[in-house]
Amino acid sequence: MTLYSLFPIAPEIFLISSICFVLVLDVFISDSKRIITYWSSVIAVIITALLSLLTFNHEITILFSGSVIIDPISSLLKTFSSLLIAICFIYSKDYLIKNNLFKGEFFILSLFTLLGIFVMTSSHNLLILYLGLEILALSLYTLIAFNRDSAIATESAIKYFVLGAIASGTLLYGISFIYGITGSIQFDLISNYYLSNNSNLGISLLALAFILVAIAFKFGAAPFHMWLPDVYQGSSAPVTLLIGTAPKVAAFVITWRILVDALGPLFMYWKEIVFFLIVLSLLVGNLAAIAQTNLKRMLAYSTISHVGYILMGFVALSEGGLSASLFYVVVYTLTAALAFGMIIILSSKKKEAQNIEDFSGLNEKSPWFAFILLIAMFSMAGVPPFPGVYAKLLVLSSVIDAGMLWLAIIGIITAVIGAFYYLRVIWFMYFNKPKGKFTPNGDTIFNYSLAFNAVVLVAIGLLPSYLLNLCNYLLL
């Protein structure tokens, strides 16, 4: 194997090297110079994104005896994930400094989170996928408990760790069954086995059930969502921002790699289970979100409903359905980044702008930032011309084309229900008098980044065909 043949995994090699560099660098600098760690991490992530983009190729490259795959979708999703982590770093800096959390560990663990996403995205067998999943999960467990002065953060981390360990064990149990039946852990070989062999169907369905439980937990789909609201509320705002964005790309990847690449021939069996997860996620997520007064908790329940819409593309199992799900993931993560960015920019020292009432009268204090949050809420609610409406229309169209009209009707009804709690936030911002002392207080880079995030969302809403065509191309 030559150095040139390793170029497709140059992003992973550089990212691992950067983690080691930042880890050693942080040991030798004082707290007053921690900004060096920050900028080193930001630059590392940006270079990683560029390297991922450079590996983009129309051809598929298989490495390490079929364990790793570099294809167009993996290259661009790695680029997108890197940019999401960069956004997280930029949005979080001021908050971390004000709350004495500006430590090297935050950036190192975030880089490990990105590494886990990279490994999952390029995985071509079940064990590599599991390895990436655990790198991601272990990093998130630690990040949630990062604020040692917060009892609720520690409680959330323990809850997530215990439930996550059970989900990981469930996934391994399902993988062991699949390996025992097919004699392989490589996705294409597993798929080929089920295309030509229907024996051991009972055990295969048992393995499928274990794997789907693990996927539902990692995605945050109901009824395996119990960790999500507590983790969103208990984590510090920067950690919630990270959890709510880049790992959603990883969740899409793990679902796609396992259900489509490996277990696609069993579609007629896992379709019914995923259908049930979708309906439950739409109902639980939207109905529970209505009762929330804490914005982070409300966004957690809304995430559950968005997971339901993302999964619709998988039950359609068509190129249009899968590209619609990918489109939805991109739009949702950018919108979530904007919403959590507003929570961060309004938070003061030792006090987060968590409650919906904290945003009362924001239009009087800062019309520009009120408009930015309005863009995020309208996009999540699916109000034209913002991109959320196109994301919902695409996944709903895909299930209608697949003959699942009732699922589309449920999706439309729950979308109308969900619009209520998003519009309530807008009502507080524009029609209530200001309460509390929360005012936007970000630095210049933060403000411009937030504005750019909003502009990108509006651009996607006005010209959705460009992103949709890209998603279609990646899933050809």
User: Mean of the per-residue pLDDT values for the chain?
Assistant: 91
**If you average pLDDT over residues 28-48, what whole number do you get?**
93
Given a cut of 80, is residue 321 above it in pLDDT? yes
Given a cut of 80, is residue 136 above it in pLDDT? yes
**If you average pLDDT over residues 194-206, what whole number do you get?**
86
Residue 270 structure tokens: 């896992």
Name the one residue in this structure whose structure tokens are 């996550």. 164
Is residue 172 domain-resident?
yes
pLDDT at 410: 95
pLDDT at 193: 93
Digit-coded pLDDT (tens) for 400-439 = 999 899 999 999 999 999 999 999 999 999 988 877 666 6
Is residue 238 domain-resident?
yes
Given a cut of 70, is residue 3 above it in pLDDT? no
Is residue 417 domain-resident?
yes
What 3-state DSSP class applies to 222? coil
Is residue 456 domain-resident?
yes
Q: For residues 334 and 453, give the distance between their C-alpha atoms in angstroms, rounded to a whole number.
A: 7
The percentage of residues in the chain with a pLDDT greater than 70, rounded to a whole number, is: 98
Given a cut of 70, is residue 217 above it in pLDDT? yes
The percentage of residues in the chain with a pLDDT greater than 90, rounded to a whole number, is: 70
pLDDT at 202: 87
Least reliable range by pLDDT among 212-221, 245-254, 343-352:
343-352
The band of 197, judged by pLDDT with boundaries at 50, 70 and 90, is confident
The count of domains in the chain is: 1
pTM of the model: 0.95
What 3-state DSSP class applies to 348? strand
Is residue 2 domain-resident?
no
pLDDT at 474: 86
Digit-coded pLDDT (tens) for 76-110 = 999 999 999 999 999 999 899 988 889 999 999 99
| 3-class SS string, 33-62 | HCHHHHHHHHHHHHHHHHHHHHCCCCCCEE
Residue with the bigger pLDDT between 351 and 67: it is: 67
Given a cut of 80, is residue 476 above it in pLDDT? no
- The answer to whether the beta carbons of residues 146 and 236 sit under 8 Å apart is yes
Range(s) of the domain holding residue 105: 7-474
Least reliable range by pLDDT among 7-21, 51-65, 231-245:
51-65
Q: For residues 231 and 277, give the distance between their C-alpha atoms in angstroms, rounded to a whole number.
A: 21
The band of 311, judged by pLDDT with boundaries at 50, 70 and 90, is very high
pLDDT at 378: 95
pLDDT at 1: 59
**If you average pLDDT over residues 342-355, what whole number do you get?**
82
Q: What are phi and psi of 125, to 5 degrees?
A: -145, 165
**If you average pLDDT over residues 125-138, what whole number do you get?**
94
Least reliable range by pLDDT among 19-33, 251-265, 299-313, 343-357:
343-357
Least reliable range by pLDDT among 35-44, 143-152, 172-181:
143-152
Is residue 1 domain-resident?
no
Is residue 257 domain-resident?
yes
Q: For residues 114 and 310, give the distance between their C-alpha atoms in angstroms, rounded to a whole number.
A: 21
Q: For residues 354 and 346, give the distance between their C-alpha atoms in angstroms, rounded to a whole number.
A: 9
Q: What are phi and psi of 152, to 5 degrees?
A: -70, -30
The alpha helices in 145-266, defined as continuous H runs, are 151-182, 187-196, 201-219, 228-234, 237-243, 246-255
pLDDT at 436: 64
- Which whole-number Å values give the CA distances from 468 to 52, 97, 249, 329, 457, in the listed order? 21, 39, 16, 12, 14
